[in-house]
Structure 1
Amino acid sequence: MFTGIVTELGTVESLERSADAARLTVRSPRALDRVRTGDSVAVNGCCLTVADHDAETWTADLMAETLDRTTLGALRPGDAVDVEPALALGDRLGGHLVQGHVDGVGTVLARTPGERWDVVEISLPAALARYVVAKGSIAVDGVSLTVVHAGESAFTVSLIPETLARTTLGARAVGDRVNLETDVLARHVERLLAAGVRTADLAPTTEVGP
């Protein structure tokens, strides 16, 4: 589990492709202060498992599903990536609950600079539109953001100076593709409603003695 608060801007060292997989190596020495082999780390919002590491770099294996459903397969050496190690029990939850399971890929449609922030419009796959609401949360390339406007095919977010300076979103241009993860709570509520769960079934019960 992650929080959508990027720990470090890492750098892609290499992406070695095979027929249906890839091996990604990232340089992110700050994140490695709390990462060991077998731990989970989010790269641009996608949860990966550390297969090997040294003092400054770590490596993860990308399966076909990851390459098909995220932007990671298009990474090149030298690219900056958003890096966040998984939460430890008791860590502060600064953003929102993020699983690192990418729901879909969007494209930056427009970028409007403000006095101290940028407003960015991103396309939204039709299947995800029902999970995105104004003032709700969404993870874009692993960054926890608040939705400003939500439409059927796009949404907008405002990027504050801290986000512009410390994440890859500061450099994303029109036409760039980004990983999207919608609010997991919205997906669970939808599943419960689809199953016909009544409100009364979810309410706690209090036993009263004779």
Structure 2
Amino acid sequence: MFTGIIEEVGKVSAFKKTGNFAVLQIECCKILDDITIGDSVSVNGVCLTVTKCGEKSFNVDISYETLEKSSLAYTSYGDPLNLERALTLSRRLGGHLVSGHVDCLAKILEIKKESGAYRLRTQYSSDIDRYVAVKGSISLDGISLTVSDIPAERVCEVAVIPHTFENTVLKYKKAGDYLNVEVDMIARYIEKLLKKETKADKLKESILKMQQLEDFL
């Protein structure tokens, strides 16, 4: 589990892809003092397991499913990566609960600086449209952001403060690039609960009708 507050921007020092499997080596500094083999790390919003630790880098394995659903499949040497260690019970939850399970990719339509901040507009899959709401949370490349506007179907805008922009991979992005998207998990749980309630209501209604029919007969 993560918060969506990026701790460090690392750099790809090696990327070896063999068929539907890949090994990624990430050069970094800050987070190395507190990670060990087996730990979970968010890499551009993808939860990955540390398989090797070095003095200046660590390795993670990437499965075929992750390669299919995330932008990590297009990683190359020198690319910057958002990094966040897993949440601990003693840390403040500064962003929102992020699982590191990518829902889809979003295409950047526009990045524009205005009024001292940056407006980021993205287009995403219709599969997640119902989970995106104004003032709701969304994770883009592992960054916890708040939806500021939904100008069209499958399109949302977020406002990015200068600190976040300068200290994440967003400063390297441009229109046409893709970001890993994870919707707010609370929205998914609410939807599931509502579906269960709807099914229960329909069952109650069906039973009531059967009882009324039996009374009539």
TM-score (norm 1): 0.92
Query: What one-letter code is carried by the residue in structure 1 that aligns with 2:183?
Result: T
**Corresponding position of 1:163:** 164
Deviation at 1:169, TM superposition (A): 1.1
* Alignment coverage as a number of residue pairs: 199
Paired letter, 1:135:
K
Which runs of at least 4 in structure 1 moved beyond 2 Å after TM superposition? none
Distance 2:173 2:127 in 1: 24
- Cα offset, 1:141, TM superposition: 0.2
Matches within 5 A, 1:69-108: 69-108=69-108
Is 1:114 aligned to residue 114 of structure 2?
Answer: yes
Equivalence for 2:174:
173
Letter in 2 for 1:182: V
1:82-132 per-position Cα deviation (integer Å, ceiling 9, x unaligned): 000101122110100000000110100112221421111100210101101
The one-letter code sitting in structure 2 at the alignment partner of 1:160 is I
Matches of 1:103 and 1:158 in 2, distance apart?
21
Partner of 1:59: 59
Once the two structures are TM-superposed, the CA of residue 171 in structure 1 deviates from its matched residue by: 2.1
For the residues of structure 2 that align with 1:55 and 1:195, how far apart are their CA atoms? 50
Whether 1:182 and 2:192 are equivalent positions in the alignment is no
Q: CA deviation at 1:163?
A: 0.9
Give the gaps of 5 or more residues in structure 1. Answer: 199-210
Question: Secondary structure at 1:196's aligned position in 2?
Answer: helix
Q: Distance in 2 between matches of 1:183 and 1:97?
A: 8
Letter aligned with residue 19 of structure 2: A
Higher Cα radius of gyration:
2
Separation in 2, partners of 1:89, 1:139 = 21
- One-letter code aligned to 1:29: C
Q: Look up the equivalent residue of 1:111 and give its one-letter code.
A: I
Alignment match, 2:128: 128
CA contact (8 A) 1:164 1:171 kept: no
The AA in structure 2 aligned to 1:65 is: E
Q: Deviations over 1:157-188 (max 9, x none)?
A: 11111011100112210000100000000001
Corresponding residue SS for 2:65: helix
Q: Distance in 2 between matches of 1:83 and 1:182?
A: 19
Which residue matches 2:35? 35
SS at match of 1:58: strand
Q: CA deviation at 1:55?
A: 1.7
Provide the secondary structure at the position in 2 that maps to 1:31: helix
For the residue of structure 1 that corresponds to 2:3, the secondary structure is: coil
Aligned to 1:84, the other structure's residue is in SS state strand
Aligned twin of 1:208: none
Which is helix-richer, 1 or 2? 2
Structure 2 distance, partners of 1:180, 1:77, is: 23
User: Counterpart amino acid of 2:171?
Assistant: G
Distance 1:152 1:181 in 2: 17
Mean Cα displacement is larger for which, 91-100 or 189-198? 189-198
Helix, strand or coil for the counterpart of 1:72? helix
Structure 2, unaligned runs of 5 or more: 201-217
RMSD of aligned Cα (Å): 1.3
